[in-house]
């Protein structure tokens, strides 16, 4: 195609140009054999396509299938939510396994750990540690003196 108006022929035929352009193109068509031929060919092609198209076969149960899209969409939504929940549960499980208490050997694990209350009962308060030690030393000294004194008398 060499005519610069040729591209407008499609829009003209498809009723996609305004009235002013239409009038201008119709004047041009009277003088341009190339555009006239193109217009005839495109018209012929459109009519050939319409003639060649046959009634579209639609299965009797097709409408039921299309109504069924409602259930398909709902089922897919449920499946999607189930999938997300499964994935979330898996992430939580893996996280718990990775961040949980470190496993110990069976021997250590078998030995029962003392309860916290037992530790507190036998452990004196931190601030009295020094005094308690000196008291014990004093008591031990007295006991030793006493024993040596009594031992000396018994001899």
Partner 1 sequence: MPDDAELLRSAGRGDENAFRELVDRHARYLHGIAYSLTQNPSDAEDVVQETFVALLKSKFREESTVRTWLVQILVRRAALLRRSKHRKLSLAAPEEARNDASVAAKGSAVAGSDARLDLAVMLEVLSPEHRQVIVLREIEGMTYDEMATALQVPRGTVESRLHRARAELRERFKGYLQGS
Q: Decide whether 84 or 142 has the Cβ nearer to partner 1.
A: 84
Q: Is 114 in the site for partner 1 (CB under 8 A)?
A: no
Q: Decide whether 54 or 111 has the Cβ nearer to partner 1.
A: 54
**Considering only residues 4-23, where is the footprint of partner 1 by CB under 8 A?**
7, 10-11, 14, 16
Q: Please spell the DSSP secondary structure of the chain, one letter per residue.
A: ---TTHHHHHHHHTT-S-HHHHHHHHHHHHH-HHHHHHHHHHHHHHHHHHHH--PPP--TTHHHHHHTHHHHHHHHHHHHHHHHHHHHHHHHHHHHHHHSPPP--HHHHHSPPPPHHHHHHHSPPGGGHHHHHHHHHHHHHHHHHHHHHHHHHH-
How many amino acids of this chain bind partner 1 (CB under 8 A)? Answer: 36
Binding mask 40-79 for partner 1 (x = CB under 8 A): xxxxxxxxxxxxxxx-xxxx--xx-xxxxxx-xx--xx--
Residues contributing to the site for partner 1 (CB under 8 A): 7, 10-11, 14, 16, 40-54, 56-59, 62-63, 65-70, 72-73, 76-77
């Amino acid at each position: 195609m060499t005519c610069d108006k040729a591209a407008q022929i499609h829009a003209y035929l498809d009723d996609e140009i305004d009235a002013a352009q239409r009038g201008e193109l119709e004047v041009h068509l009277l003088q341009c054999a190339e555009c006239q031929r193109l217009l005839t060919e495109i018209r012929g092609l459109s009519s050939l396509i319409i003639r060649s198209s046959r009634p579209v076969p639609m299965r009797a149960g097709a409408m039921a299938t299309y109504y069924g899209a409602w259930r398909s969409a709902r089922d897919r939504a449920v499946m999607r939510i189930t999938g997300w929940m499964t994935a979330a549960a898996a992430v939580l499980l893996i996280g718990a396994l990775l961040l949980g208490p470190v496993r110990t050997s069976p021997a250590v694990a078998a030995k029962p750990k003392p309860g916290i209350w037992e530790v507190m009962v036998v452990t004196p308060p931190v601030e009295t540690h020094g005094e308690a030690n000196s008291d014990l030393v004093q008591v031990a000294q007295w006991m030793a003196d006493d024993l040596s004194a009594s031992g000396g008398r018994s001899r």
